[in-house]
Chains A and B, each alone.
Chain A
Amino acid sequence: MAINRNVATTHVSMLKRITADKRAATAPLRHAATRRAKTFISQLFIYSILLSLAFVFIYPVLFIFSKSLMQAGDVTDATVNWIPKQLSFANYAYAFQQLDFWRSFMNSTVISLGSAVVQVVSCAVVGYGFARFRFPGRGLWLALVLFTFLVPPQTIIVPLFLQFSDLGWLNTYLPFIVPGLFGHGLKGALFVLIFIQFFSKLPSQLEEAALIDGAGAFRTFRSIMFPLARPAMLVVFLFSIVWHWTDTYEPSMYLMEPQKFNMTQQLSKMDGEGNGEGAKQLAVTKSVIGEPPTKVNRVMAGALLSILPILALYLFTQRYFVESVERTGIAGD
């Protein structure tokens, strides 16, 4: 297939025609039939690798889904592997109530959506400043953005915790949203870098035209550059939602009251931790003991419920996740 394409493009340039002639001279040695067989086998090979890899990637979904539909009897029954003997949604009803679904859904949504919105705006503003202005100290601040990205949260967690505690922000959404307002927060530095990449690729004539038309720097940003940044905004928005939703670290530091728990916290404290994991239990989950251990089916129903909202989001926006990363040029180094 690749060779055919090559032959087709050879008509374009003289240089290529010469090599094509060379290849044509050796072509009779290789029969077309064996060549076709070869490409067929290599295609077969590639697809089989891809399919087996895809299985590994879908495996957790299948596992969660199948276990979540099982009854207690099916879980221990060795003859039941994937398909439960009878269909029942009792686990979901149980998990729904255990997770305190609507409340934790609201908590998670406010945290994820709120942080995502403020991060999109603030990181875009900051990214624009870095991408389009040359000022003394720019290199230093850029290095500090990278530094911020690389500092482990473990290092600064104690002062941050005390700081938020002094401000009375524990058990509120503020520790998640306010750092986002300043272009920080969960992976904030990465989002700033994404916007820097994106804005520095836009043509500078856009701003020059706006300047000639009498727009100031902020007006230019607000009415021209910001709307143009939609692909980058989409990436940042979606990633911010997903990462905030699945993050277990910050919520477990800042949210201690069960009423304020988000989805992942409710899931962590659900029963059936089992397998010696209990030793590593955190203070947050430690208070909740009781319920017999290893109820795989119920826990998996809970797991599915806890990610259902972002799974739904992903199903609808999958293209944007995958394609917009290319369009924004995160990879531009």
Chain B
Amino acid sequence: MKKRLGLTMRARHIVQGYSFISIWIVGFFLFMAIPLFRSLMFSFQDLKIMSGGLEATQVGLKHYNNAFTVDTSFVPRLITSFTNIVIQVPLTLVFAMFSALLLNRKLLGRIAFRGIFFLPVIIASGAVLKKLMGQGATRLPIFDQVDLVGKLIDYVPGQILFPLLKMMDAITLIMWDSGVQILIFLAGLQSISTTLYEAAKCDGATPWESFWKVTFPMIVPMILVNTLFSIVSSFTKVDNSVMDYIQYIVFNKSDYGYASSLGWIYFVFIFLVIGAVFLMFRGASAEERR
């Protein structure tokens, strides 16, 4: 067999490697690269459904112009989606980190607690979550019971209070949504060698200091992983209005060209966010090295 192809060890290694990933490469073209390219083409076209298939006419940047100038409902949705990411992702990370630190301790019933913390990933997602939201069951009733708004409105200006309360309302959803992130942090925490903590203790570090000097730097890669995961899972979350809207354009309006351009605007905007995240992490790790 070795002689058959007349390949060197190195060449054979390369061929084998490529044959393992070849199915992925084929899939990449079929389900990612070609659709991505076609959707870019579509976004500059008007598509009409004819008996023989689609008929396209070039319209240049019309759809992009419309999205920002004519369509009154897209930009607000984009902004909501953006604020959701900016507010929810950091909160998710903080909460997941907090829970992971708690669950990483030696506790009675640790397994049970972990099982419970992961439960919403199974039950409070997708259609069920939508139904729960419809019933107002995704907010903690405690805020209504004590009439927080009525009590605080005298002291705190509304511009600050209402966004703050909105965040508090979102907190239940954020907690339910952080199951996977908690698991990833837990795995990260468990991979930190205990000798590091012992060394820190020998040097007289308090638990607070050893968190910031040992745990946190060791877990930075997991924070990046979790940030990306949270952003990605926000695309298809039930409260993502861009998703609903594009689907509405596709099905109810059959305006494929416009839907594609909205998809591309969303894509560019998401990649700006992701780019910012990468820059932040690169900056943070560069600072670490200094």
Contacts A16-B202, A154-B246 given; indicate if A184 touches B115 (C-beta within 8 A). no
* Given A49-B102, A54-B116, A155-B36, CB of A60 within 8 Å of CB of B1: no
Is there an interface contact between B42 and A56, defined as CB atoms closer than 8 Å?
Answer: no
The residues in B between 202 and 260 inclusive whose CB is less than 8 angstroms from any CB of A are: 202, 221-222, 224-225, 228-229, 231-232, 235-236, 238, 241-244, 246-248, 250-252, 256, 259-260
Nearest chain A CB to B207 CB, angstrom units: 8
Q: Which of B105, B137, B225 has the most CB of A within 10 A?
A: B137
- The closest CB in chain A to the CB of B136 belongs to A275
Q: Is A265 an interface residue (CB 8 A)?
A: yes
Given contacts A133-B14, A152-B270, A314-B119, contact A333 B222 (CB under 8 A): yes
A255 interface residue (CB < 8 Å to B): no
How many B residues have CB within 8 A of the partner chain? 102
Could you tell me how many residues of chain A have their Cβ less than 8 Å away from some Cβ of chain B?
Answer: 108
B8 proximal to A (CB < 8 A) = no
Convert A271-286 into 0s and 1s, putting 1 for each residue whose CB lies closer than 8 angstroms to a CB of B. 0111101001011101
> Which of A30-38, A86-94, A296-304 touches B?
A296-304
Q: B232 and A331: CB pair below 8 A?
A: no
In contact, A148 and B32 (Cβ under 8 angstroms)? yes
* Cβ-defined contact, B27 with A60, below 8 A: no
From B64-72, B86-94, B127-135, the one touching the partner chain is B127-135
Minimal Cβ-Cβ distance residue in B for A156: B35
Contact A130 B21, beta carbon cutoff 8 Å: yes
Inter-subunit contact B246/A246 (CB<8 Å): no
Q: Are A217 and B16 in contact (CB under 8 A)?
A: yes
- List the A residue with the shortest CB-CB distance to B183: A325
Q: Chain A interface mostly helix, strand, loop or mixed?
A: helix
Of all chain B residues, the one with the shortest Cβ separation from A250 is B236
Residues of chain B from 115 to 168 with CB closer than 8 A to chain A in the complex: 115-128, 130-137, 140
Residues of B within 8 A of A132 (CB): 17
Beta-carbon nearest neighbor of A313 in chain B: B122
A148 x B28 contact (CB < 8 A): yes
- Asked whether A267 lies within 8 Å of B127 as measured between CB atoms, the reply is yes
How many Å lie between the Cα of A265 and that of B127 in the bound state?
7
The closest CB in chain B to the CB of A275 belongs to: B134
Q: Which residues of A contact B130 (CB under 8 A)?
A: 248, 268, 277
Q: Are A322 and B242 in contact (CB under 8 A)?
A: no
Does A53 sit at the interface, judged by CB under 8 A?
yes
- Complex formed: what's the CA distance from A160 to B114 in Å? 38
Contacting pair B236 A249 (CB below 8 A): yes
Contact of A296 among B39, B135, B202, B224 (CB under 8 A): B135
Within 8 A of A (CB), among B1-41: 1, 13-14, 16-21, 23-28, 30-32, 34-36, 38-39
Inter-chain CA distance A81–B17, complex, in Å, is 61
- Tell me, in angstroms, the Cα distance from A286 to B244 when the chains sit together: 13
The docked-state distance in angstroms from the alpha carbon of A282 to that of B244 is: 7
Indicate the member of A149, A248, A263, A332 with the most B CB atoms within 10 Å: A248
B117–A54 touching, CB < 8 Å: yes
Closest to A185 in B: B31
- Whether, in the assembled complex, A9 has its beta carbon less than 8 Å from a beta carbon of chain B, the answer is yes
Chain A residues near B134 (CB, 8 Å)? 272-275, 277, 299
Do A126 and B17 have beta carbons less than 8 Å apart?
no
Q: Which residues from A are CB-within-8-Å of B247?
A: 157, 249, 252-253, 282-283
**By the criterion CB–CB under 8 Å, are B187 and A325 in contact?**
yes
Q: A107 within 8 Å of B by Cβ?
A: no
Shortest distance from the beta carbon of B264 to any chain A beta carbon, whole Å:
6
Q: Are A57 and B127 in contact (CB under 8 A)?
A: no
| The one of A60, A122, A158, A162 that contacts B132, using a Cβ cutoff of 8 Å | A60
Q: From residue A52, how far is it (CB to closest CB) to chain B in Å? A: 11
Interface contact B35-A135, CB-CB below 8 Å: no
* Cα–Cα, bound, A126→B14 (Å): 14
Say yes or no for B51: interface residue by CB 8 A criterion.
no
In the complex, A330 has a CB within 8 A of chain B? yes
* In the assembled complex, A144 has its CB within 8 A of some CB on chain B: yes
Is A155's CB under 8 angstroms from B225's CB? no
Contact A326 B186, beta carbon cutoff 8 Å = yes
16 A/B residue pairs, CB under 8 Å, sorted by A:
A50-B113, A54-B117, A59-B172, A67-B135, A133-B16, A148-B28, A149-B232, A152-B266, A152-B270, A183-B23, A218-B16, A263-B127, A277-B130, A310-B122, A314-B119, A325-B186
